[in-house]
Amino acid sequence: MSEENNFVSFVCTTCRQEIEAPAEKIGQTVECPACGAHIVVAPAEEQAPTQAQLDAMKSRTIRIELSDL
């Protein structure tokens, strides 16, 4: 399994920042590194962003290592 497959992309429900997190964090509540909101890590497919949201975030993706809360 490649390193890329160990991460999931999701969107902060508050600021709409796209975030990548380790797959083992799925279902956990974490702090958004952009706005500080508490959010649940869920694969982007489960959040169903609109096409406009997907277009807007193409150049805004950041990857972080999330520590346990």
CA 61 to chain centre: 9
For residue 23, being part of any structural domain is answered with: yes
For residue 51, being part of any structural domain is answered with: yes
For residue 68, being part of any structural domain is answered with: no
Using one digit for the tens of pLDDT, what is the confidence trace for 29-47?
Answer: 999 999 999 999 987 665 5
pTM (two decimals): 0.56
Tally of structural domains, the chain = 1
Question: Structural domain of residue 14, as residue ranges?
Answer: 3-63
Angle at 17 between CA 41 and CA 15, to 5 degrees: 95
What's residue 45's pLDDT? 63
Mean pLDDT of the chain: 78
For residue 15, being part of any structural domain is answered with: yes
What's residue 28's pLDDT? 93
User: What's the token pair of residue 10?
Assistant: 């999701």
For residue 41, being part of any structural domain is answered with: yes
For residue 69, being part of any structural domain is answered with: no
For residue 9, being part of any structural domain is answered with: yes
Is residue 67 pLDDT above 50, yes or no? yes
